[in-house]
Amino acid sequence: MTLQEILIQFKERTGLNNEAIASLLGISKSTVSRWVNGDTKNLKKETLNKLSKLLKIDISTVMAENSFYHKKPILGTVKAGYNLFADENREGFLSVNEEDHHRGDYFLRVTGDSMYLAKIHDNDLIYVQQCQDVNSGQIAVVMIGEEVTVKKVIKKPDFLILEAANPHFENRYFNKQEIAELPVKIIGKVIYSRSDF
């Protein structure tokens, strides 16, 4: 596990915020923020000892034991269909290997079966790389106003198609004005899907 992952889990378990952790350690809030954001990965030995005491674990050992694996958050649910509002309820974390750690940012749980021919099924977890654009033909996580969906994105000169991978679901078409006003925004590229058996 990384320092960032350890701290995020600690904050979720205890309900403490960055300011409270900073106060307990006698350091600045901005320092804790850098740890939680993943901007600082190495700590002075004295600070590491204080943090280990607060968290009641040997941070150095935990980080070393898990150096080949990284954890990515499961942020919530995305509809393989339409009309489900964005719902960021973190379920927990999943381990990914070193290669996948650099390819993506988070997991989303899929509800619905509009993408089953693309091998994305109801209750699957999709691994997502956060981005604002994808190539035409790629599968993406898309926000339509407050709604979130996963679809194949087809780009045309004057409009955008969100294409289902299930003949029982209609594709959706958005012109330039709708894209700007709703808005329709790509928020991530789907790297892969995995099923829990």
Residues annotated as part of the active site? 114, 151
Give the separation between CA 3 and CA 35, rounded to whole angstroms.
7
124 Cβ contact partners less than 8 Å away, ≥ 6 residues apart: 109, 110, 193, 194, 195, 196
Nearest to 78 by CA among 131, 103, 118, 114: 114
End-to-end CA distance of the chain: 25
Q: List residues bridging with 186 in a β-sheet.
A: 142
DSSP class of residue 116 equals G
Q: Is 172 exposed, middle or buried (0-12, 13-18, 19+ CB in 10 A)?
A: middle
